[in-house]
């Protein structure tokens, strides 16, 4: 037991009001109990942290998807698909680092440091001041400074990754055109060049991690020297005994773990903070128009009318003084040169925008006075580019009417005149479609006819289950 006494065991025992002459069995029993408790508590800390993190990520994904729906249809047209994919997947996943690996270390560092300073106070107030300075410097000051210095690097890296995702997604979707026009080699060179930019940005982050470790080691060494000389001076002045000197110095030297973990978190959080900014920016973005919720619901739609309608994008006038009227059952065709405003007119009819002048009315009621949900239920909108999901033909059709039975799906396909084509496929309505219907041959798919027909079936469902008022 000489080692125990020589390392200040008597001093610790006196502080804790225990008999300093503990036998080896008692010491080993205590160590085993504490070791077992450490493992159990560590497991509970990790489990609770990750449980909370993934619950919050699920809620965050729901909020992000709600934000995307709120921003549709206008604002999403200005956003790159790859950037959105990167935000919804990678950026949200990176937030797990904050929720699961940041909150617990902060709490551990706070409580551990508080307990240790109470121990230091038993020996000397100078030890308390040195320990407090060390913990604040390593656990608070250094992380704040290093994060500010490298925050832009993290933001740049996330932006480059998002741009790369968008570029790569375009390359995959346009693979036929790339091969057809001999652009493959140049496209590959562009991908490699973008990859090099990403590597350079990532290297900056790793360099910052190395600097953080160096700064941390310097700070630890400096405070170790300070407490060593302070302890020697206090011992020389008889303000503390040798046991107090030895315990105080060893205790500080062995207590940096929690605050060093906080300092290292600053490097890991560079990407997380940048991802958080991107997510919060999307959540804070406001739609061009807010949904109407406390107005009129549409019933028995009989006509749609446009009165003195004018619209402009910024300084570019698109539509001027447009007037027409269409009654239920009529087919109205809108034609004109490219860029003349046909698509813009349809978006105004769907109230994706509000006109600067004039108004669009249904049954004599302006669109701004009709509940948005009711408006969507009574109008079907077909775009030039349809999207086929990676699912069966049946499920792609069912998107228009989730509660539709298989008989209704077959009836809609017959009305769209593609039932026989679907039945000619090996698995019929259970044929698995790849994105944009790419797994069908050109003769079977016609590249654009099949997606359009799918959307025609969506419109037929509107005709079958709710009143559609016009078609183009």
Q: Distance of CA 431 to CAs 155, 179, 352, 428, 437, Å?
A: 43, 28, 35, 6, 11
What pLDDT was estimated at residue 6?
Answer: 42
Taking only the tens place, the pLDDT of each residue in 412-455 is 777 767 788 888 888 888 888 776 556 555 444 443 334 444 54
Taking only the tens place, the pLDDT of each residue in 253-274 is 989 988 988 888 777 777 787 7
Strand order in the sheet with 365-366: 316-327, 303-313, 357-362, 365-366
3-state class of 291 per DSSP?
Answer: coil
On the 0-12 / 13-18 / 19+ scale of CB atoms within 10 A, 37 is exposed
SS (H, E, C) 14-55: HHCCCCCCCCHHHHHHHHHHHHHHHHHHHHHHHHHHHHHHHH
Instruction: Using the structure block, give the residue that is written with the tokens 């890991």.
Output: 268
Q: Average pLDDT in the 305-318 region?
A: 86
- Would the CA dihedral through 340, 342, 346, 347 be positive or negative? negative
- In this predicted structure, the answer to whether residue 10 has a pLDDT above a threshold of 60 is no
What pLDDT was estimated at residue 452?
Answer: 40
What's the CA gap between 440 and 433, in Å, rounded? Answer: 8
- Taking residue 34's Cβ as centre, other Cβ atoms within 10 Å add up to 9
Taking only the tens place, the pLDDT of each residue in 75-106 is 666 666 667 777 887 888 888 777 777 788 88
Domains along the sequence of the chain with CATH: 2-284 (1.20.1560.10), 303-377 (3.40.50.300), 393-465 (3.40.50.300)
What pLDDT was estimated at residue 232?
Answer: 92
- In this predicted structure, the answer to whether residue 468 has a pLDDT above a threshold of 80 is no
Which two structure tokens, joined as six digits, stand for 80? 């790159």
Cβ atoms of 105 and 265 closer than 8 Å: yes
Cβ atoms of 69 and 96 closer than 8 Å: no
- In this predicted structure, the answer to whether residue 194 has a pLDDT above a threshold of 80 is yes
What's the CA gap between 117 and 232, in Å, rounded? Answer: 19
Sequence-ordered list of residues with C-beta below 8 angstroms from that of 273, at least 6 positions apart, any chain: 147, 151, 154
What pLDDT was estimated at residue 233?
Answer: 92
Q: φ, ψ for residue 329 (rounded to 5)?
A: 95, -15
What's the CA gap between 197 and 195, in Å, rounded? Answer: 5
What pLDDT was estimated at residue 21?
Answer: 58
What pLDDT was estimated at residue 197?
Answer: 92
Average pLDDT across the chain, whole number: 79
Closest to 135 in 3D by CA, of 311, 303, 263, 234: 263
- In this predicted structure, the answer to whether residue 107 has a pLDDT above a threshold of 50 is yes
Band of pLDDT at residue 2, cut at 50, 70 and 90: very low
What pLDDT was estimated at residue 181?
Answer: 86
Q: Distance of CA 101 to CAs 139, 142, 281, 434, Å?
A: 15, 18, 23, 38
What pLDDT was estimated at residue 130?
Answer: 93
**Is pLDDT larger for residue 239 or for residue 1?**
239
What's the CA gap between 335 and 381, in Å, rounded? Answer: 17
Q: Average pLDDT in the 55-73 region?
A: 85
Q: Average pLDDT in the 292-320 region?
A: 84
Q: Is 76 left (phi over 0), alpha (psi -120 to 50) or beta?
A: alpha
Q: What is the percentage of the chain residues whose pLDDT exceeds 90?
A: 12
- In this predicted structure, the answer to whether residue 458 has a pLDDT above a threshold of 70 is no
Q: Average pLDDT in the 51-58 region?
A: 86
**Is pLDDT larger for residue 459 or for residue 29?**
29
What's the CA gap between 112 and 287, in Å, rounded? Answer: 47
Q: Could you tell me the pTM of the whole model?
A: 0.64
Which two structure tokens, joined as six digits, stand for 177? 């055109």
Q: Average pLDDT in the 117-134 region?
A: 91
Bridge partners (DSSP) of residue 357 are 310
Count CA atoms within 13 Å of residue 344 on its CB side. 20
Q: φ, ψ for residue 294 (rounded to 5)?
A: -125, 50
Bridge partners (DSSP) of residue 303 are 327
When mean pLDDT is compared over 81-95, 104-118, 282-296, 337-351, the highest value belongs to 104-118
Closest to 435 in 3D by CA, of 178, 187, 89, 172: 172
Q: φ, ψ for residue 91 (rounded to 5)?
A: -65, -45
Band of pLDDT at residue 22, cut at 50, 70 and 90: low
Q: Give the residue ranges of DSSP H helices in 174-183.
A: 175-180
3-state class of 317 per DSSP?
Answer: strand
Paired sense of beta strands 316-327 and 365-366, if any: unpaired
Which two structure tokens, joined as six digits, stand for 257? 């773990």
Which two structure tokens, joined as six digits, stand for 428? 């019929």
């Amino acid at each position: 037991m000489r080692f125990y006494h020589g390392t200040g065991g008597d001093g610790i025992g006196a502080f804790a009001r225990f008999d300093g002459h503990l036998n080896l069995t008692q010491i080993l029993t205590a160590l085993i109990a504490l070791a077992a408790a450490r493992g159990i508590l560590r497991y509970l800390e990790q489990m609770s942290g990750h449980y909370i993190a993934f619950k919050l990520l699920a809620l965050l994904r729901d909020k992000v998807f709600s934000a995307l729906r709120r921003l549709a249809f206008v604002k999403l047209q200005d956003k790159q698909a790859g950037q959105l994919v990167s935000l919804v997947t990678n950026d949200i996943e990176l937030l797990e680092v904050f929720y699961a690996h940041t909150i617990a270390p902060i709490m551990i560092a706070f409580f551990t440091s508080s307990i240790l300073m109470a121990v230091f106070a038993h020996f000397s107030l100078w030890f308390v001041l040195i320990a407090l300075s060390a913990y604040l410097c390593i656990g608070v000051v250094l992380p704040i400074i290093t994060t500010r210095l490298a925050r832009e690097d993290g933001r740049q890296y996330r932006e480059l990754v998002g741009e790369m995702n968008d570029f790569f997604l375009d390359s995959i979707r346009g693979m036929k055109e790339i091969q057809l026009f001999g652009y493959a080699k140049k496209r590959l060179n562009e991908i490699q060049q973008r990859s090099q930019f990403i590597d350079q940005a990532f290297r900056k982050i790793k360099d910052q991690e190395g600097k953080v470790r160096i700064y941390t080691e310097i700070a630890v060494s400096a405070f170790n020297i300070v407490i060593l000389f302070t302890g020697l001076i206090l011992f020389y002045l008889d303000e503390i005994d040798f046991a107090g000197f030895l315990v105080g110095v060893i205790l500080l030297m062995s207590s940096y773990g929690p605050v060093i973990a906080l300092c290292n978190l600053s490097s890991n959080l560079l990407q997380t903070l940048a991802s958080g900014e991107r997510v919060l920016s999307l959540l804070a973005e406001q739609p061009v128009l807010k949904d109407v919720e406390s107005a009129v619901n549409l019933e028995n739609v009989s006509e749609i009318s446009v009165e003195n309608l004018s619209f402009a994008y910024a300084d570019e006038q698109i539509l001027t003084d447009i007037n027409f009227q269409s009654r239920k059952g009529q087919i109205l065709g809108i034609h004109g040169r490219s860029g003349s405003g046909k698509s813009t007119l349809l978006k105004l009819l769907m109230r994706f925008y509000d006109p600067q002048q004039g108004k669009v009315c249904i049954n004599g009621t302006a669109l701004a006075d009709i509940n948005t949900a009711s408006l969507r239920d009574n109008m079907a909108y077909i775009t030039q580019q349809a999207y086929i999901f990676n699912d069966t033909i049946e499920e792609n059709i069912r998107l228009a009417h989730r509660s539709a039975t298989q008989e209704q799906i077959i009836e809609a396909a017959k009305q769209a005149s593609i039932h026989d084509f679907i039945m000619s496929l090996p698995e019929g309505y259970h044929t698995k479609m790849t994105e944009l219907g790419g797994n069908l041959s050109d003769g079977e798919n016609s590249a654009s006819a099949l997606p359009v027909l799918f959307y025609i079936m969506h419109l037929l469902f509107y005709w079958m289950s709710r009143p559609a008022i016009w078609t183009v």
